[in-house]
Every structure is written in C-alpha cells, then in structure tokens.
Structure 1
Amino acid sequence: MEDIAFLKWLGTFAAVGLIWACGRRFYRLRHIPTVGGPSLPILSYLGVIRLMHDARNMLHEGYNKHYGSLFKVAFPNQWFVVVTGDKLIDELRRLPDDVALFKDAIKDLLELDTTIGPAFHADPYHIDVIRTQLTRGIGNAFPSLYNEIEDAFEELLPVYANQWTVVDDMLQKLQRITARVSNRAFVGMPICRNNTYLDLVIQHTMDIAWTRKRMILIPRFLKPLAAMFFSRALNDINQGHELLLPVLVERRNKFDNQEKDPASGPSDYLDCLMEAALLRGKGLESVTQMIFATNFAAIHTSSNSMMYFLYDVAAHPDCIPSLREEIQEVVRDQGWTKDAVGKLLKLDSFMRESQRFNGTSAISVMRKSVKGVTFSNGQYVPPGVVMVVPAREIHFDSRVYDNPDVFDPLRFYTMRANGVNEQFANTSTSYVAFGLGKHACPGRFFASCELKAMAAHLLLHYDWKFETGKDRPENRWFAVSVMPDTDVELLFKKREW
C-alpha cells in the first residue's frame, strides 16, 4: 500500500511539473514556427508522437518551408530549434562557448546527469585527450590496430573460400570487431579481448538508450529520484571498473614511481587519460568512466557505418573491381600503414558517400544556448534552448549535391579531383555527419582510419552479397535515430589476392 501511495504521489507531482514546464517553454518560444503538430502546452505532445514515427518527413517539411530560418519541433522533454541554411548554420558554428555549449546540448539529449552521472558532464576531459594524443598517435598505433582487425575478422567471421556462408548476425559481429579494434587502442592487450569487458562496453550504449527513453518523460525536479531506479549504465561502468582496476593500478604506479621517462610523454591513450586524471586530482573510477564514454561514442556509430558499407557494396558490385585495384596497389607499395590508408581515395569517397546517404542521426551540430542568441535574420533564441541542424536534409539537398537521391560512390573522389577538399573525416556546412566547428567529433580521424582499414581488409579478403532475390534493405528510423535493417542476411566467402 505504501508503494502504491508513493507512486500516486510521484505521478501527481510529475503531471503538475509537466504542465508547468510545457507552458513555460511554449511561452518562451512562441515566436518560432512549429512543425509537426500543435505548439500549445500538452497538445504539443501530438508532435512528439509524430516525431517518434515520422521524424524524417517532419524535418523535411520544416526544412522546405522554413529554409534559411528557424523552426521548432517537439521532443519529449523540450523543444528543439532547428537551424537551416548555410548562413545561419555557420553563425551557429561560430557561437562561443559562453553563448552556446555543445556539452549542455548532449547532456540534455542523452540525459547524461541521470544515465551516467553529473561528474562526467562537469569535466569530460577525455575529449581533449582524443582530439590530441589519440589522433596524433594513430600512426604509431596502426600496426597493432591492423593486427586486431586481422585476428578479429578471422575469429568472428569463420567462412570458407569454396562456398557461400550465410551470416545472419553481421551487425553484432561488427559491434564486437569494432569494440576489439577500438579497445586495442583504448586499453590495449589483453583487456581488448576480454569477452566480459567487451560485453559491458557494447551493452553500455544500449543501457544509456534504455535509461534515456524513460528519463525524458520525467520532469526535471524528479529526475534525481527516478535515477535511483534506472542505473543500468552506471552498473556497466562499475562492473567494468573491477575488470580494469589491475591495469589502471599498474598504469598509475608508472607515474607514482616515475618508472617511465618523464621526457617521453604518455605512450598510449590510457596513459594519456591517466595523466589527465592525475593532474586533475581524479581517482581511477574517473578513468574508467572516460574509457566507457569513449566506447559509447565509438562502437555503435562505427559498427553501423560498417554495416551500411557492406550493404552499399553489395548493392553496387560494379564498384568492387576499382576499389580492390586501388587497395592492392597501395598495400603492395606501402603495406598496411596509416599513410597507406590515407591514399585510398576511392574508398574514402565511397565511405563518405555511404555516410552521407545513411548516417546515424537526422540531426547534428547540437548547441544549447547559455545566453540569448539573435541570428542575422532577426530570429531570437532565448537561453536554455537546444539548437540543432537537420543533417539528413542538408545531405539530400539538391542545392548542395547534384542528384542527391542517387548513391554515387565516386562523388567525393570527383570533387577532390576538382580541388574541393572532401575527405571522409572533413566537415563543412554541406557535410555535417561528424558535426561542425570546434565541437565536431574529436575522434573522427581515428574512426575514419579504423573504418577504412576494416573496409579495405574486407574487400581484399572476402566476397559478399545479398541472399538471392533480396535487395538492399531500407534503413530503420526511431525518432531522429537511423539504424541499418538487419533482417536481410548477407552471404560471405573468403577470397585470395
């Protein structure tokens, strides 16, 4: 009975808080056009329902109707203001951190304070480590990364040269392969092959999503209370810390005992994280949290991108000979190195086009206003509002790309030949898959190198195709998230080269 009374009390306060919050947010943004449903308090949830099932068409409608200006769409816990047109998007990109913050927008979007705790949002120091030391160390780390690619595919994709083998769980295999390869750089051997650890870092993203879906429906003042009941993501980190603790203690002792030459600097990503944590007076638990945050950003986005790549190659088999020819020529000349991967221009173009055509989200370039923002067209966004860019609409805009609805594997290869710098990891107002400006994805250069190395390895060592009579499946959507449809099976066989 006491539990029932508590739930009734919680529900009453939640309803009152919801009505108050909806009314306050409506009043502050009433001057910005609404797309997808009514803008009145409570009734705006009709727009939320549509967003869950029809976000693609909602954003397309708003983009066409309000191009070059702002419009808003209703998310479960707040309004998002959508910024369109090169001029305004560039203005959004240029906003300083004392006016609009990326990390506050991500905190709201992913409910980070309740999914993994406020300490992470307060000082996400892993971002600077990724942007600097991890990126600079790709060349030195590449031999071990490629070794992990070889071993992981050999172990997890056991197919034969003389027969086609149906692989019906390819996305799960790619998640594990990506986790192994990424963690070869993040935490090294042998942890990167520890199955319990891999299970945790893969599950962590799904647990954040599970928690977020519930927390976005709860008023802000009740979130700390509700968080006690939704702690899956935190449990992942706690279990991971037990596995990582011996490695972390060993790394900390290297600094404490000055066993490492101080002039040499940190030797890998984990060393760099440890150094950053110690300089801030952080404990080992903080290092584990940053490792899980790094995995959260790396595993599922990269594995989805690889799944898109497999589908797009199978849908365009005429591209395979030229891609293989380029890879064979470069590898025979230079071997498997970071610089060699950087010279795979046709493969780079194919993967950038695959990312343009598919993507992982319909929105990008997220910022939350700290102060009021007045754009050059006169539209005003008050403090405390999340602003986003409609990534998919930009990538399919005929003003930006010729024949945008056509998958053109050499689109960016041709653009580069004409003097346009369109490498896979580069960003611009016309290509926002990795964000834009100083807050663009800090790990995009690592991810680009890793993905191209995996793709090149697949092309040289495997053939694959769809089942007979099957075509490339349409992507799946949930709200603004885009995912590959895994119902269609792929057939693989080994090849020699």
Structure 2
Amino acid sequence: MEQSLFASDIRSIFEALSLLKGIKTISLAISVSTRLLVLIFERMMSQSPFMWNGHAPRIILLLTSGVIPVLVFFSKRRRAQNLDDFPTVGCSFGPSRCFSNFYVGASRFLVDAPGVLKEGYEKYGNKPFKVATMLRWTVVLTDPQHMVEIANAAEEDLSFREAMKDIMGVDDALKINVGSPDHDLLAELLKSHIARNATKICAEVQDELLTSLETVLGNESDDWTSIPALSTVSRIMVQTWQRFFVGYPLCRNSEWSSLVAKIHKDVAISSVIRRLVPSWAFPFFARMASNLEANVDHATMLLGPAVEACTSEMDEYAVPNEKKFDFLARLVRRSTGEDSLLRNLTARLLGFTIAVSSTPSNTLTHALYHLAINPEFAQVLRDEVDPIVQRDGWNIQSVAKMSKIDSFLRESARINGVSSLGFFRQATRDLSLSDGTFLPEGCTIAVSLPPFHRDSTTYEAPDEFRPFRFSDNPEHSITTITPQWLFFGYGKHACPGRFLLTYQLKVMFAYMISAYDIRIGDEWTSRPPNFIFGEGIVPNLSAHVSYRRRRDAH
C-alpha cells in the first residue's frame, strides 16, 4: 500500500506540472526534478537502508544541491539525437531537446515506468513512442513484428553490447571492458559448458542449493521463523552459483561468500548511481557510495590460488581437469591479454555471477510472495512434488515432471517480470525497419514487455494471477522461447543459461514447499507491492515471510 501511495503522490506532481505548458527554465526543472530524486532516494532508503553503507546523507546532499541534474543536463544535451518524429510519453513540456521535458520526464519514468509505458501503449498502440530515462531518450516498440526484427538483427546494425553498457552498470562498476572481443565469453561458455556437462552440473548445483537451504533455513522447532524474503533468497542463490563458477571448496569459504555478497550490494548501488549521473561523473559518485574497489581487490587475493591451480593444470596437461574448477578453468583458458590478469579475471567472474544470479533471486521471491499470501496453493503443489520425489528423488528427470511448479513460476514471472523493457539495442548507423520506421545513428530502442505478457488475445484474464494456467501444456514451460513469451529473451540473444537457471528455481521452490509451511508476515494483508526503479521491477525489499518445518515432510 505504501508503494502505491508513493507512486500516486509522484503522479499527482506530474499532473500539476502538466498544467504549466510554459515550463522552459532550467531553474524550475532542476527544482522539481531534484525534489523528485530526493523523494525517490528516501523511499529506497526506507525500503532497504542496509544497502547504503552509511553514505546516504552525503548522497542526498548532492541530490538536493542540484549537482546531478546539472551534470546530466549537459551530458544529455551533447548526446541528444533528433527523435522528434517519435511522440513523447511521460512528460511533454516542449521538444525532445528541452531540458525540462527530458529531466522531469525521466524522473517520472524512474518511479512509474509501468504507468508511463501503459500510457504510451494505450495512446499509440503498436506505433513507436519515446520516453525519457535517466540514461537517455529511449524509443519504445510494442509491435510484435518490430520485436522479432530487432531480436534477429545483426550486431553491426543494432548493437546489444553497446546498449547494455549503461543499462547493466556492471561493466562500469567492475571496470570490465564491454567492447573487448571476449565480452560475449559468458554466453559462449555457458552454452558449451552446460551442454557438455548438464547432468554433472545440475547435480552439483542441486547439492549446493539444498545444503544452502538447510544451512540458512534449518529450523527444527515448531515455531514460526520470520526472514527478510529477498535478501535470504539472494544469499542462497548467490551461494549456489558460486559452486558453478568457482567450484568446491572456495564456494563454501565464508570470507569469499561474504565478499561476493558485499560486491553484489556495491554493484547494485553503483547501478542506481549510474542511472543518475553521466558516465564521466560516475566514478566519483560510485566511490563515495560503496567500497567496491577494495572488495574486488580482496576477492582477487582469495581467488588467486584457484586460478593458479587452473593455470598449472593447463601448463601440464594443456586441457583443464574436468573434475575441478570446470567453469573457472575454461574462463582462465579463454581469457587473453589484459583480461587474463588476475584482477581483471576476478572482476569478469564477479560480473558473470551478478549477471546470472539477480534474475533467479527476484523471480523466486516474486513467486514466494504469491505463495505466502495464498497458502492454499501449497497443498496443490505438494500433491505433485512429494510423490515424484518419493519415487524418483531429486534429479533432472524428476524435476522436469513438476509441471505445476513450472506453471506457478512462469505465471508469477508473467505477472511481475524483472523489467518493463527488454531487447535493448543501439543503432550503430542510420537505418530503417521493414515498415519504414527510421532509427537515427546512436538512438537506443527497447521493447515494452507488458503488452506481450498481458495480451488478452493470448491470455484469458491477463491481469489475474492463475498459478496453474500453464500446467496442462508442456509446450508452455517457463524456458520456452516464443514471440508471446519473452521472459528469457528471443532470437540470438536469448538467455543461454535459462535451463540451468530454471532448474535451480524449480528445485529451490519445490523443496521449500515440500519441507516448510510458509506464510506472509503479519504486517501484510495482501501481496507486498513490487519496488519500481526505472524499468526494473524488484520484489518488495523489506517484506518478511515466516516459515516452519513440516513434520510430515519427505
């Protein structure tokens, strides 16, 4: 409820501003947008104060001083493209290059992106429109034909890599060279490594996941135990992915695990700041708000012996030992030039971890909130899970039979998602789409996802959460890639690790349902609202769920 009231308050500000058609002055725009940023930041702190490491007062001081709006204004003005042919949604005080139009619109998008995108779709249908984000103007596409076209476009024309430089923020934060030839190494290694070792990898991930669940949750008493949902799920997910990336025993080194958790938090902070300041000012603000560089240096020291072991094996046998450090050995072997330096290799590995662990953490927490507020669904899921596990145990084949678990996760992902926008691309030259839509060089485009996932011609009652909507049709698995289901992307950049990621999700969700009773925290009477930050959709940051072990659990 708090989140909804906050968004409503922000929208009321913009409704009042829309009456002032003559806004042209920089001072008024700075005053309005700075106040909005302070409201946004205060809201983020109230939901998750632990993120900000005690630096919040300094950051708020910078926001209120108006420094950030001025920095962004001059940065954006230099990078502006002529996008006047696309209608503006979110704030219309003048032409695209008007500062007040850009910055006030970007402030609104930061807190109410779903509302802005819905407004654009209802007004313009399948025609492109543009929205202001803190990073830049973005051309939004909603036509399925456009989606398929850009998903399969050549990197030389519509660059995924260039668009993601600013969107993710990981590369700037960890000082990874996005433009290097090896930047696509993660996708390549995931595809090849998982394809060759799927059964072995799933068994190891499952072992780490179940061990982490028991370590973190435990609870042999009959009492209910309350936990912060998102941070607990994230801790377990990150721990599990460390088994895949660095192997045993480093994955269970408490010092390493603690560092990885800190670095995740540091990168999250840096990503937020990256959206508020131009690239040339980012290092200064990022250093003020996090200890990222020191933490990466510490992680480099801990990873050193494992990398040295991989290097020794390659020097001796020319082929990495399949029994240990599988992914790390391949990464070491494939890294060349500056990327092979230990510090750079560590940063790249950490970047990989962050890239693949955020989505499952958010996705599972979304589903957990749905289950906790609707505990009647738990028994339906147990009736599926328990007989399968009793008969077949926990393995790839048994988990594949859990169609209701799969459906529940997919429906939760459909309703919530992790982003309102996807398929980010940057035009590397002037070009036109097949229907004549002109995209000037340098412009960023993206696809609005809600029109696809809440299309009434595809889904009955599309705004209603129906957990078993897909359980009777195996073709509707969460990993399926179709023009109507874009959760893992589409075309050449579809998520290469989606099968392992989904296996992890299903095992963790099914195990929690089988082993524990789960309910929402006493302070909630409905599902905790999502936290919106730009196009990002994050499960409620502060909500707790309670659990207790089932005495008849198998």
So what's the TM-score if we normalise by structure 2?
Answer: 0.80
Please report how far the alpha carbon of residue 165 of structure 1 lies from its aligned counterpart in structure 2 after TM superposition. Answer: 1.5
3-state SS in 1 of match to 2:379: helix
Please report how far the alpha carbon of residue 431 of structure 1 lies from its aligned counterpart in structure 2 after TM superposition. Answer: 1.7
Change (3 A) 1:313 1:228: closer
Choose which of 144, 153, 157 in structure 2 pairs with 1:95.
153
Choose which of 195, 198, 208 in structure 2 pairs with 1:138.
198
Given that residues 476 and 484 in structure 1 are in contact (C-alpha distance below 8 angstroms), is that contact kept between their aligned partners in structure 2? Answer: yes
- In structure 2, the residue matched to 1:47 is 105
3-state SS in 2 of match to 1:168: strand
Summarize deviations over 1:36-60 as a string: whole Å, max 9, x none.
0133420221101111221111010
Change (3 A) 1:212 1:486: closer
- In structure 2, the residue matched to 1:477 is 532
Summarize deviations over 1:207-246 as a string: whole Å, max 9, x none.
2232233344444555577777677444332221111111
Deviates more, 1:358-367 or 1:313-322: 313-322
Please report how far the alpha carbon of residue 112 of structure 1 lies from its aligned counterpart in structure 2 after TM superposition. Answer: 4.8
Choose which of 306, 319, 337 in structure 2 pairs with 1:247.
306
Choose which of 477, 483, 508 in structure 2 pairs with 1:423.
477
Choose which of 156, 166, 171 in structure 1 pairs with 2:216.
156
Deviates more, 1:273-282 or 1:199-208: 273-282
Given that residues 80 and 387 in structure 1 are in contact (C-alpha distance below 8 angstroms), is that contact kept between their aligned partners in structure 2? Answer: yes
- In structure 2, the residue matched to 1:4 is none
- In structure 2, the residue matched to 1:436 is 490
Determine the C-alpha separation between the residues in 1 that align with 2:139 and 2:157.
15
Please report how far the alpha carbon of residue 158 of structure 1 lies from its aligned counterpart in structure 2 after TM superposition. Answer: 2.9
Summarize deviations over 1:376-402 as a string: whole Å, max 9, x none.
332211121221111233222223321
Deviates more, 1:425-434 or 1:447-456: 425-434
Please report how far the alpha carbon of residue 84 of structure 1 lies from its aligned counterpart in structure 2 after TM superposition. Answer: 0.7
Choose which of 472, 478, 500 in structure 2 pairs with 1:446.
500
Question: What letter is aligned with 2:307?
Answer: L
Segments of 5+ residues of structure 1 without an aligned counterpart are 1-6
Change (3 A) 1:287 1:19: closer
Determine the C-alpha separation between the residues in 1 that align with 2:424 and 2:160.
6
Please report how far the alpha carbon of residue 184 of structure 1 lies from its aligned counterpart in structure 2 after TM superposition. Answer: 1.1
- In structure 2, the residue matched to 1:3 is none
Change (3 A) 1:20 1:361: closer
- In structure 2, the residue matched to 1:205 is 264
Choose which of 389, 394, 399 in structure 2 pairs with 1:331.
389
Please report how far the alpha carbon of residue 491 of structure 1 lies from its aligned counterpart in structure 2 after TM superposition. Answer: 2.0
Is 1:296 aligned to 2:354, yes or no? yes
Is 1:406 aligned to 2:464, yes or no? yes
- In structure 1, the residue matched to 2:188 is 128
Question: What letter is aligned with 2:536?
Answer: S
Change (3 A) 1:241 1:472: same
Question: What letter is aligned with 2:533?
Answer: F
Please report how far the alpha carbon of residue 458 of structure 1 lies from its aligned counterpart in structure 2 after TM superposition. Answer: 0.9
Determine the C-alpha separation between the residues in 1 that align with 2:135 and 2:531.
23
In angstroms, what is the RMSD of aligned CA positions? Answer: 2.8
Segments of 5+ residues of structure 2 without an aligned counterpart are 1-61
Determine the C-alpha separation between the residues in 2 that align with 1:390 and 1:318.
33
Please report how far the alpha carbon of residue 28 of structure 1 lies from its aligned counterpart in structure 2 after TM superposition. Answer: 1.4
Change (3 A) 1:423 1:213: same
Given that residues 55 and 479 in structure 1 are in contact (C-alpha distance below 8 angstroms), is that contact kept between their aligned partners in structure 2? Answer: yes
Determine the C-alpha separation between the residues in 1 that align with 2:225 and 2:369.
14
Given that residues 105 and 367 in structure 1 are in contact (C-alpha distance below 8 angstroms), is that contact kept between their aligned partners in structure 2? Answer: yes
Please report how far the alpha carbon of residue 403 of structure 1 lies from its aligned counterpart in structure 2 after TM superposition. Answer: 0.7
Choose which of 240, 246, 249 in structure 2 pairs with 1:181.
240
Question: What letter is aligned with 2:98?
Answer: P
Change (3 A) 1:261 1:271: closer
Choose which of 131, 136, 142 in structure 2 pairs with 1:84.
142
3-state SS in 1 of match to 2:199: helix
Deviates more, 1:214-223 or 1:432-441: 214-223
Deviates more, 1:433-442 or 1:195-204: 195-204
3-state SS in 2 of match to 1:413: coil
The count of residues paired between Structure 1 and Structure 2 equals: 481
Change (3 A) 1:224 1:290: closer
Change (3 A) 1:19 1:143: closer
3-state SS in 2 of match to 1:465: strand
Given that residues 133 and 534 in structure 2 are in contact (C-alpha distance below 8 angstroms), is that contact kept between their aligned partners in structure 1? Answer: no
Question: What letter is aligned with 1:149?
Answer: L
Given that residues 310 and 325 in structure 2 are in contact (C-alpha distance below 8 angstroms), is that contact kept between their aligned partners in structure 1? Answer: no
Change (3 A) 1:471 1:223: closer
Given that residues 230 and 540 in structure 2 are in contact (C-alpha distance below 8 angstroms), is that contact kept between their aligned partners in structure 1? Answer: no
Given that residues 102 and 368 in structure 1 are in contact (C-alpha distance below 8 angstroms), is that contact kept between their aligned partners in structure 2? Answer: yes
So what's the TM-score if we normalise by structure 1?
Answer: 0.88
